[in-house]
């Protein structure tokens, strides 16, 4: 049904008179009622694969609010065990140790105390002077050594030799009355004397070897006694320390078992290398004691609930951690202390949020993340192939069991692509949660919007809003939602408005942000739009906005630059001549037409035949063209305009040029909705203003787009003054009556003209 809209259908006015107080709980309405409920349910599922894909446009403020909510949920969750890497049997293969909350850092500190304590105790034993048993063993060994050496010296003297000791053993030197025999003296001896002397030396050397063997056996026996004594000493001296330490970890068997392992191995190795000489043993003692290390990978001591982490840069090292290396003489080496954790392990027991587009920018990160989710184990081998190219002494840490709930955030398009082309994705992200930022502008959400605005002003220290600002901001958000009965409830967009408006209020020295101070980030001063306006004004683009013309109509289009969207009129024309009923689309013939537009043209053929109730071929061919359009044309929103030019071209009935028209048609002449209604109306209004004036101008839109109308203040004012007009249509009959005149009369002229071509 044809209808001219009046001011109450167009002028936007929402009542915000109710008193609203700060209300943090209702900051994002649909999150609270929809997303949060689904997130709660998802977080309760501890089964494999039940991770979450949140369909949303992520902003820093939204991340902040999402984290804030999830952290409240995590308050009721228990902090998981600490996770440590420890050295046990092999320094190159650190093992994982899971300890009760807070015990990781405690164990690391206590290990330092254990090492210091053992060093002090072993030092005391080496320097022990008041232990009678130890002194007796050492004295006995020393006396035995002295006795054997004295006997050997006596035998040597009896056989005419002096004896000297060296690190290689004993040396026997022949003697005469004058003293030691030199090499020259030895050469002067008779052959028999030389032989006799050498035989005596051989006997003495054999006896020396026997003595050394006997002494060595004695030392082994006595050293074993000292080692047994050392064992007892270590047990006794460490007993109280061990008892105190056990009390600190009495409820953590894993920690106690590792400590006992350290005790046993340290004591066994200290006893094994004992030689009675501390200076000689010191290096080995330190190697034994400081072989053991603890690297705390996840420390729960500083948190009361599991963490919620947003990883803004999901590289491999940021997600999974890293093993650092140092270059020593051309060889790259690493050790346990050079292993660092990433956001995956830091969010153990909690939630890790990642923006999918940033994750996909790191293809390896995405693949490793999938492997981690499937196995539940964190591996630090992602540099394996690269490191194999280097001369490297690498460590191979054991896998870590981590329980983290993953939330990927991204668009529905990305979700669809991953779901279709990645067979693993649907197995590990089984839960899809969608957030629709467009909400009904009902009383509850109006209160929430006002509360959100007030909260942001309070939190960010912006100036307060005057009462009239709420309606204007709501209007802007309704425009973004493309529905006057809804608003786009996007915190980031709202905050952008307040930032710009607060800045202007401060420049103007205003006490509050009033209507004059409101600034909206809509790209109003686009250079492209200004240039197009100049082209209309200078008639570089030909559009007529007054009078009537046959076969010409002002269609309405939208230019979408992503960062800025605006409308502009285009001249659509049609010519006809005798033919076989073909509609020739100039855009398609020029390869400037998309598939949807081509479909719309084909639909017009069916509609024309349906309108004429004709089973015979239409005797004319029609040429349709979008004038001065040199890029791709797609969509079906110009169907009504195109059909009007067809009817006008055949019937010779002119079309009003003071009107712009937009709308889609089906084969039965029903008018269907289009997009960008506001931009199209404002584009035509602006062009009329540039070329002529806006008085007695108007647009014709689908009736189903009525609720989409959220127009700028200037157009609302022009409509209130009855200068600019908006009409709605439900079918092609309505369109013809607005743009061309009486419907039946137009059809009569149409049929009359067609008869001429049929002859």
Q: 24: pLDDT confidence band, cut at 50, 70 and 90?
A: very low
Contact 173, 185 (CB under 8 A): no
Q: CATH number of the domain at 439-521, please? A: 1.10.8.60
Q: Which residues contact 136 (CB under 8 A, 6 or more apart)?
A: none
Tell me the range of 18-22, 139-143, 360-364, 385-389 where mean pLDDT is highest: 360-364
pLDDT in the model for residue 598? 75
Question: Is residue 86's pLDDT more than 90?
Answer: yes
> How would you class 362 by CB atoms within 10 Å of its CB: exposed for 0-12, middle for 13-18, buried for 19 or more?
middle
pLDDT at 346 exceeding the cut of 90: yes
Q: What is the mean pLDDT of residues 21-36?
A: 58
Between 176-180, 473-477, 501-505, the lowest mean confidence (pLDDT) is in 176-180
Residue 738's Cβ-count burial label (10 Å; 0-12, 13-18, 19+) is buried
Contacts of residue 326, defined as CB under 8 A and 6 or more positions apart, other chains included, come to 332, 333, 334, 338
Write down the pLDDT at residue 682: 94
pLDDT tens, 476-534?
999 999 999 999 988 888 999 999 999 999 999 999 999 999 998 875 667 888 898 88
575 vs 128, residue with greater confidence: 575
The helix or strand, by DSSP H or E, that contains position 157, with its residue range, turns out to be helix 132-158
Mean pLDDT of 525-551: 89
**529-758 CATH choice from 3.30.230.10, 3.40.640.10, 3.90.226.10, 1.10.1740.10:** 3.30.230.10
Whether 335 shows a pLDDT value over 80: the answer reads yes
pLDDT, averaged across the chain: 85
pLDDT for the residue numbered 328: 73
704 within 8 A of 677, measured Cβ to Cβ: no
Neighbours of 658 (CB within 10 A): 18
- Residue 286: the pLDDT is 94
C-alpha 133/C-alpha 493 separation (Å) is: 85
The percent of residues above 90 in pLDDT, for the chain, comes to 51
Please, are residues 532 and 490 in contact by the beta-carbon 8 Å criterion?
Answer: no
pLDDT of residue 267: 92
Measured between alpha carbons, how far is 366 from 597 in angstroms, rounded to an integer? 39
In this predicted structure, the answer to whether residue 315 has a pLDDT above a threshold of 50 is yes
Residue 382, both tokens: 């992602």
Tokens encoding 151 = 């006997």
- Copy the structure tokens of residue 641: 């305009």
Hey, which residues are catalytic here? Answer: 637, 680
| Token pair listed for 318 | 């940021």
Neighbours of 690 (CB within 10 A): 17
| 262-276, 556-570, 580-594, range with the lowest pLDDT | 580-594
What per-residue confidence (pLDDT) applies to 442? 83
| Homologous superfamily (CATH) for 60-79+303-434 | P-loop containing nucleotide triphosphate hydrolases (3.40.50.300)
Compute CA 661 distance to the chain's CA centroid, rounded to the nearest angstrom.
45
Mean pLDDT of 325-335: 76
Q: Which residue stretches of 388-541 are H helix?
A: 412-421, 425-428, 443-459, 467-481, 491-507, 527-537
pLDDT tens, 358-381? Answer: 999 998 999 999 999 999 899 887
The predicted pLDDT at position 181 comes to 65
As given in the structure block, the two tokens for residue 481 are: 């939602």
Does residue 441 surpass a pLDDT of 90?
A: no
Range 412-438 burial, b when 16+ CB lie within 10 A, else e = eebbeebeeeeeebeebbbbbbebebb
The structural domains of the chain, with segments of one domain joined by +, span 60-79+303-434, 88-301, 439-521, 529-758
């Amino acid at each position: 049904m044809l209808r001219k809209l009046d001011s109450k259908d167009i002028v936007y006015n929402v009542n915000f008179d109710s008193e609203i107080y700060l209300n943090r709980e209702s900051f994002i309405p649909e999150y609270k009622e929809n997303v949060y409920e689904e997130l709660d349910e998802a977080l309760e599922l501890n089964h494999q694969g039940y991770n979450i894909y949140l369909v949303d446009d992520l902003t820093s403020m939204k991340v902040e609010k999402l984290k804030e909510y999830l952290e409240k949920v995590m308050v009721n969750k228990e902090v998981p065990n600490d996770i440590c890497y420890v050295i046990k049997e092999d320094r190159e293969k650190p093992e994982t140790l899971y300890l009760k909350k807070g015990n990781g850092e405690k164990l690391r500190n206590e290990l330092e105390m254990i090492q210091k304590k053992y060093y002090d105790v072993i030092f005391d034993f080496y320097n022990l002077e008041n232990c009678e048993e130890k002194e007796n063993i050492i004295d006995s060994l020393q006396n035995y050594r002295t006795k054997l050496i004295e006997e050997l010296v006596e035998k040597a003297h009896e056989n005419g030799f002096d004896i000297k000791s060296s690190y290689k053993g004993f040396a026997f030197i022949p003697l005469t009355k004058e003293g030691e025999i030199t090499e020259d003296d030895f050469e002067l001896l008779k052959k028999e004397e030389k032989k006799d002397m050498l035989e005596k030396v051989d006997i003495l050397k054999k006896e020396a070897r026997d003595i050394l063997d006997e002494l060595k056996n004695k030392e082994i026996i006595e050293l074993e006694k000292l080692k047994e004594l050392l064992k007892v000493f270590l047990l006794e001296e460490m007993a109280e320390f061990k008892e105190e330490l056990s009390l600190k970890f009495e409820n953590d068997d894993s920690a106690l078992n590792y400590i006992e392992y350290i005790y046993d191995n340290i004591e066994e190795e200290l006893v094994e290398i004992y030689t009675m000489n501390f200076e000689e043993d010191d290096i080995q003692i330190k190697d034994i004691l400081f072989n053991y290390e603890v690297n705390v990978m996840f420390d729960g001591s500083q948190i009361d609930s599991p963490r919620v982490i947003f990883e803004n840069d999901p590289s491999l090292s940021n997600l999974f951690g890293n093993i650092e290396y140092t270059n020593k003489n051309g060889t790259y080496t690493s050790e346990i202390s050079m292993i660092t954790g990433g956001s995956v392990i830091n969010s153990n027991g909690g939630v890790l949020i990642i923006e999918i587009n940033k994750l996909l920018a790191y293809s390896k990160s995405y693949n490793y993340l999938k492997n981690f989710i499937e196995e539940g184990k964190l591996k630090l081998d992602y540099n394996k192939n690269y490191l194999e190219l280097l001369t490297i002494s690498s460590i191979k840490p054991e896998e870590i069991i981590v329980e983290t709930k993953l939330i990927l955030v991204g668009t529905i398009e990305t979700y669809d692509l991953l779901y279709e082309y990645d067979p693993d994705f649907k197995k590990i992200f089984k839960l899809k949660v969608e957030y629709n930022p467009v909400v009904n502008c009902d009383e509850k959400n109006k209160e929430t919007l006002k509360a959100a605005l007030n909260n942001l002003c309070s939190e960010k220290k912006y100036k307060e809003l005057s009462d009239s600002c709420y309606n204007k901001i709501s209007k802007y958000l309704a425009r973004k939602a493309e529905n006057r009965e809804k608003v786009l409830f996007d915190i980031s967009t709202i905050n952008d408005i307040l930032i710009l408006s607060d800045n202007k209020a401060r420049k103007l020295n205003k006490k509050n942000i009033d209507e004059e101070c409101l600034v909206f980030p809509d790209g109003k001063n686009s250079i492209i739009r200004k240039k197009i306006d100049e082209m209309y004004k200078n008639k570089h683009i030909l559009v007529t906005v007054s009078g009537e013309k046959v076969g010409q109509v002002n269609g309405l289009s939208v230019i979408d630059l992503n960062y800025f969207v605006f409308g502009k009129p285009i001249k659509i024309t049609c010519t006809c001549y005798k033919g076989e009923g073909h509609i020739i689309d100039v855009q398609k013939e020029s390869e400037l037409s998309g598939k949807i537009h081509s479909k719309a043209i084909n639909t017009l053929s069916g509609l024309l035949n349906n309108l004429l109730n004709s089973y015979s071929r239409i005797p004319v061919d029609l040429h349709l063209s979008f004038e001065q359009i040199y890029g791709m044309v797609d969509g079906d929103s110009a169907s009504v305009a195109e059909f009007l030019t067809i009817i006008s071209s055949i019937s010779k009935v002119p079309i009003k040029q003071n009107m712009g028209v937009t709308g889609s048609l089906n084969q039965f002449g029903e008018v269907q909705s289009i997009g960008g209604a506001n931009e199209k109306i404002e584009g035509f209004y602006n062009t009329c203003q540039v070329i002529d004036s806006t008085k007695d101008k108007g647009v014709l839109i689908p009736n189903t787009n009525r609720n989409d109308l959220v127009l700028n203040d200037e157009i609302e004012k022009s409509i209130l003054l009855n200068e600019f007009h908006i009409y709605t249509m439900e079918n092609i009959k309505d369109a013809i009556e607005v743009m061309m005149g009486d419907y039946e009369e137009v059809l009569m002229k149409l049929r009359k003209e067609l008869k001429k071509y049929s002859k």
